[in-house]
Structure 1
Amino acid sequence: MSSRNSWQNKQSARERLKAERDRQARRSKLRRRLGIGAVAVAAVAAAAAGVVFASSASGSGEHDDWARVPTDAAAKPLKTPRNVAADGVTVPYGDPHNGKVLAVYEDPRCPICRMFEQTDGDEVRKLADQGKYRVEYHSATFLDRTEDESGSKTALAALGAALDQGGLPKYLAYKKVLFENQPDEQTDRFADTDYLLDLAGKVPGLKTPTFEREVRDGTFVPWAVKTGKAFNDAKDRDGKPIGGTPSVLLNGARLNVLTQTGPVSPKDFTAEVERAH
């Protein structure tokens, strides 16, 4: 009986993982079909910047009491967090002179990204510390899939504030806390700045008055929009769109970091990196 239950649990996990990847692929395909690329995203940010956040701010029902960034946050002048890479969007880790680059693509609201970070995140950074590569963290916001969702952008903007105020250590610690407390994908609770600030209190020394102001004001929302656009435009070395998260590339070549039941083990991740080398 226990063997049958174990098989059923594994089957259920595979089905959930496949369903999530399929949903992400459909969303990415829809965005490409609708032309949400460089021109469209810029137009949304500049000409209709308040749409996403205005809709979220109005809200309805149980979410009316959520604290949200100002409706005009996306229309503010672009401010890039300190400690971002020279491209203005990626977060670097490791020796900047290392010629091998491991690109990690993730969305704050993506449950499989949470699973990958919690399973393999330490291994990713350990191998960078050993000089195998340097890491570039790329963030996506495509899970804000409707006009009344903004949690990916709001969470990313808060991560930008952590990077700006506390550098890479605070950014990584805060990202860990966000993943540990990631809401169900359907709730969009990362759109609530009170919730994001409560979670920031779990990172010692992060929740300063300046950090709190940057989160509440949406200081880095324009940067989050720009970062999301960069993900939409990104391609692997074969010219194919990145498409979904999590995606991990070594010098542009995709690594197989997911199985039917979840992320690969740290040991298997290392083996995949060695094969790609």
Structure 2
Amino acid sequence: MVQSRRFRILVTAVAAVATLGLAGCTPAADSGTGSSASSAPLPTGTVGGAHFDDGFLSVGTGEKVVDVYFDPMCPICGTFEEANGRQLSGLVADGAITLQLHTMTFLNRASRGTDYSTRASAALTCVAAADASSTLSYFAALYADQPAENSSGLTDKQLISMANDAGAPDITECVTDDRYHSWVQQANDDALAGPIPGADIDAVTGTPTVLVNGTSYTGKVNDATALAAFISSN
């Protein structure tokens, strides 16, 4: 099932990747303040790897900061993760970088009313808050089994099971009570509206958007060598 799903996504994205740099998936005009927000209060402070006030999930302790803005439904983000995920994880493990993941939800519109981007982003936040060391394993799993655009996406039960497989603590309660739905929607809205502190862009205009110490990477999403060189030189 995983191989088949990944194949469909790559077929959709491959023509774009040949010529496209980053920001391959773009929001619609009405992508902010979606209906996926819950009535739960917005969390504050830092819990595990979730930095709620700053709007990102963080792993690593390196002096160099790499920010990645992503939507779980974006096929170009899937291509980026497939090409660069292992490399970024290695740089985190080596202490070379701090990786800050910024959840985006504007492709909720491409999940047949299930708000998949919000649900997957919130589940990732559940994992990061419960056990920061499991964040990247779960992030990789979301893209290894990424649903195609205009499908219903993975179910909450599947998202919970994937967290167990990634070695994270049980996130069942966190997922079923929609604990972080409002927060991931707010993070999406803030990134689209801007400003992006310390960055050379005013706001996020698509995903994936990658910044290294605030400088935008504009190379091809599937060129791991180019990304490595960019990280090294910034």
TM-score bucket of the superposed structures, by smaller chain: 0.7 to 0.9
Query: 1:154: which partner in 2?
Result: 119
Query: 2:25: which partner in 1?
Result: 24
Give the alignment of 1:86-165 within 5 angstroms. 87-95=53-61, 98=63, 100-145=64-109, 148-165=113-130
Q: How far apart are residue 135 of structure 1 and its match?
A: 2.0
Query: 1:217: which partner in 2?
Result: 177
Residues 225-246 of structure 1 show CA distances to partners (whole Å, capped at 9, x for unaligned) of 2222232134563443221111
Q: Is the 8 A contact 2:68 2:101 kept in 1?
A: yes
Q: Is the 8 A contact 1:24 1:245 kept in 2?
A: yes
Q: Is the 8 A contact 1:107 1:246 kept in 2?
A: yes
Measure the CA separation in 1 of the matches of 2:114 and 2:19.
Answer: 23
Question: 1:170 is matched with which residue: 134, 137, 142?
Answer: 134
Question: 1:269 is matched with which residue: 222, 227, 232?
Answer: 227
Q: Is the 8 A contact 1:256 1:272 kept in 2?
A: no
Query: 2:211: which partner in 1?
Result: 249
Distance 1:216 1:271, change over 3 A: same
Q: Is the 8 A contact 1:248 1:257 kept in 2?
A: no
SS at match of 2:207: coil
Distance 1:254 1:157, change over 3 A: same
Percent of residue pairs bearing the same amino acid type: 23
SS at match of 1:78: coil
Distance 1:22 1:163, change over 3 A: closer
Q: Which has the larger radius of gyration?
A: 1
Measure the CA separation in 2 of the matches of 1:223 and 1:86.
Answer: 8
Measure the CA separation in 2 of the matches of 1:205 and 1:272.
Answer: 32
Q: Is the 8 A contact 2:59 2:99 kept in 1?
A: yes
Measure the CA separation in 2 of the matches of 1:153 and 1:221.
Answer: 6
Distance 1:204 1:133, change over 3 A: closer
TM-score by length of 2: 0.78
Give the alignment of 1:175-254 within 5 angstroms. 175-190=139-154, 192-206=155-169, 208=170, 211-235=171-195, 237-254=199-216
Measure the CA separation in 1 of the matches of 2:52 and 2:40.
Answer: 21
* More deviation, 144-153/249-258: 144-153
Q: How far apart are residue 215 of structure 1 and its match?
A: 0.8
Q: How far apart are residue 87 of structure 1 and its match?
A: 3.1
SS at match of 1:145: helix
Larger strand percent: 2
Count the aligned residue pairs.
219
Q: How far apart are residue 256 of structure 1 and its match?
A: 2.6
SS at match of 1:270: helix
Q: Which amino acid aligns with 1:24?
A: C
How big is the alpha-carbon RMSD for the aligned residues of Structure 1 and Structure 2?
3.2
Residues 42-88 of structure 1 show CA distances to partners (whole Å, capped at 9, x for unaligned) of xx6xxxxxxx35xxxxxxxxxxxxxxxxxxx6112223572223634
Q: How far apart are residue 107 of structure 1 and its match?
A: 1.1
Runs of 4+ in 1 over 4 A off after TM superposition: 15-23, 128-132
Q: Is the 8 A contact 2:108 2:116 kept in 1?
A: yes
Q: Which amino acid aligns with 1:268?
A: A
Q: Relative contact order, CA 8 A, sep 6+: which one is greater?
A: 2
